[in-house]
Amino acid sequence: MTENRTKFTDLGLSEVTLAALRKKWFENASPIQAACIPLLLASTKDVIGQAQTGTGKTAAFGIPLIEKVNARLKHPQALILTPTRELAIQVAEEINSFSGAKRIQTAVVYGGSSMSQQIRTLRAGAQIVVGTPGRVIDHIKRGILDVSQLDFFVLDEADEMLNMGFLEDIEYVLQQTNDDKQMLYFSATMPTEIKKIAERYMKPGYEVIKTKTQQLTTDTVDQIYFQVSDRDKVEALTRIIDIENDMYAVIFCRTKLECDQLSDTLRGRGYLVDSLHGDMDQRARERVMKKFKKKQISLLVATDVAARGIDVDDLTHVINYHIPNDPESYTHRIGRTGRAGKTGVAITLITPREYRRLVMIEKVTSSSIKRGTLPEAHDIIQNRKQAALDAIVAKVEQEWSPLYTEMVELLMKEFPSKDVIAALIDIAFGQELIADNYRDINTGGSIDTSGKTRLFIAKGRKDGFGPREIAQLLKDEAGIADQDIDDIKVLEEFSFATLPFAEAEAVLHVFNRKDGRSIVSKAREKGSDYKKGDRRSRPPRRR
């Protein structure tokens, strides 16, 4: 059964904003967007929005900002704090894409970039400022950034901000702002610290919007991975495409450059393909999406950000040419196939060194990603022979133009019918039926997945932990079963535990997401020879 979807046209948005969303091919709102946008348009209540990563939280607050910010006023009306420079850039780019014809200026400020350029942008009258806490504070202290007339203060990925140690910075920025602003916190989880900040700084009666956590996997998607060396990824991909008769797929790459390179390579081999990424102007993007929706091209190579506007229900495949960094991105990608009651296939290409990441994704998403065997050349040729025969039979049953029958009669007078048919097959299908087009593929070597991993845990007897508490910590936080936890050793300031390979990878991922200081890490290979005061569990604070 197809789920009920809320369209952006039903959310009370202006025609200018709707026009900008149409250019991005945004049609249906995600649950967090459908819940937040009407509320923020109609109310000045402070809001906490909680939803999974990859569910469109930026649009949930960014679109209302565009609607309510006054383009005629040349001072910061909205300040958005993000934990990393990468996210700051991404948020700024996305908000810019929502502004359309409104001429709202967005400035992005972060460490490691030209201070003078940022100063020029701020002094030019940006209405929306996106930045990391450290650089925002620098501009406030220099008198460059005035946050005393804000209409909106936004914390994006609030839980990550706290995990990375930004609490004092956030409080400093808040103390420089006016009291009558609307505060918006968006987060994937809701730790106690966020609730404390809300109680301290938000106005009474603030709204909490929590969308239902979706299952990370779907029964309608068959998940497969293929192990292959880096240099043979293109060869492996073409074999996968060639063994399928009617593939209609999105192929995910990490970067814009890789999208263009892969698209050009596939196009050069005769595939109907194009690329989609953030460097394309709006006209080029619309042209590509129109071709893809009309199935004039059957393969679309895209980055994660560019693919957000793709709303197609009948994709047969999603292919991870590059494995994503986290389970949420993986889930968001593969959820594009297997929709509307149909089945789909999610394929991931990995190198041997990426196997650990695949195992972590499989464990965290509770999914079964089966290892596949790449098609052999003779299998592909046999498949294509059958497809050619089917196409010929379908044509034979049609009515023919007199021009064609006249040409056939002339050929049959000169040559045996068998030779004529063979020549026509060669013209139509010859290049597809040559086994030498496929060279040998290197899988990159075998991986030992049967071993175990020793984990270092930055909790010990001084923290009130014994073996039972360590086991309980792993069970409660990462869902590890008792029988998988072995050889627990508790010392004064830290502990060790041994887990099977897959379970250890899942634990590492969960704790890295839950706490920015990473209280769990892999133990050193030489065993438990840790010195007192080991600070590996406290990496430098990032900005």
- Let me know how long the chain is: 543
Q: Is the pLDDT of residue 1 over 50?
A: no
Domain 6-210 is found in CATH 3.90.420.10: no
CA distance 277 to 257: 9
User: Is the model more confident about 25 or about 45?
Assistant: 45
Q: Is the pLDDT of residue 224 over 80?
A: yes
Q: Which two tokens stand for residue 259?
A: 């999208």
Query: How far lies 450's CA from each of 353, 443, 447, 481, 500, in Å?
Result: 16, 19, 9, 17, 8
Contact 334, 309 (CB under 8 A): no
- Domains 6-210 and 221-374 alike in fold: yes
How many C-beta atoms surround the C-beta of residue 284 within 10 A?
13
Query: What 3-state class would DSSP assign to 149?
Result: coil
| 215 pLDDT higher than 60 | no
CATH code of domain 221-374: 3.40.50.300
Q: Write 465-471 long-range contacts (CB < 8 A, 24+).
A: 465/490, 465/495, 466/490, 470/495, 470/497, 471/497
Question: What is the pLDDT, as a whole number, of residue 321?
Answer: 96
Residue whose structure tokens are 């957000």: 308
Angle (nearest 5°) at CA 294 between 290 and 300: 70
Bigger pLDDT: 367 vs 32: 32
| Res. 533: pLDDT tops 50 | no
**Looking at the predicted structure, is the pLDDT value of residue 318 above 70?**
yes
Query: Does residue 440 carry a pLDDT above 50?
Result: yes
Tell me which of 419 and 391 has the higher pLDDT.
419
CATH hierarchy code of domain 452-522: 3.30.70.330
Who's near 164: CB < 8 A, 6+ residues apart? 83, 516, 541, 542
Mean pLDDT of the chain: 83
Do 478 and 470 touch, CB atoms closer than 8 A? no
| 190-207 pLDDT, tens digit each | 777 788 888 889 998 899
pTM over 0.75: no
Residue 420 has pLDDT above 50, yes or no: yes
Question: Of the segments 17-26, 124-133, 450-459, 466-475, which one has the largest average pLDDT value?
Answer: 124-133
**Residues 307 and 189: beta-carbon distance below 8 Å:** no
Output the pLDDT for position 541.
38
Q: Which amino acid is at 148?
A: S
Q: Taking the CB of residue 94, how many other CB atoms lie within 10 A of it?
A: 20
Name the 3-class secondary structure at 111.
coil
Per domain, the residue ranges of the chain are: 6-210, 221-374, 378-437, 452-522
What is the Cβ-side half-sphere exposure of residue 129, based on CA atoms within 13 angstroms? 32
Comparing 30-34, 140-144, 426-430, the range with the smallest average pLDDT is 426-430
Better pLDDT: 69 or 472: 69
Is the pLDDT reported for residue 145 higher than 90? yes
- Give the per-residue pLDDT at 242: 87
pLDDT tens-digit series, residues 344-354? 999 999 988 88
CA dist 344 and 250 (Å) reads: 12
Q: Which residues contact 35 (CB under 8 A, 6 or more apart)?
A: 49, 60, 209, 211
pLDDT at position 439? 67
Q: Is the pLDDT of residue 3 over 80?
A: no
pLDDT at 150 over 70: yes
Q: Greater confidence, 3 or 346?
A: 346
Strand, helix or coil at 298?
Answer: coil
Q: Which of 108, 173, 128, 177 is nearest to 149 (CA)?
A: 177
The yes-or-no verdict on residue 401 having pLDDT over 80 is: no
Q: Taking each helix axis from N to C terminus, what angle separates 402-414 and 417-429, rounded to the nearest 10 degrees?
A: 120
Retrieve residue 207's tokens. Answer: 């709204």
pLDDT digits (tens, 9 = 90+) for 62-75: 999 999 999 999 99
Give percent above pLDDT 70 in the chain.
86
Give residue-wise pLDDT tens across range 151-160. 999 999 887 7
Which runs of E-coded beta strand occur in 188-272? 207-210, 221-227, 249-252
Phi then psi for residue 411, to 5 deg, are -65, -40
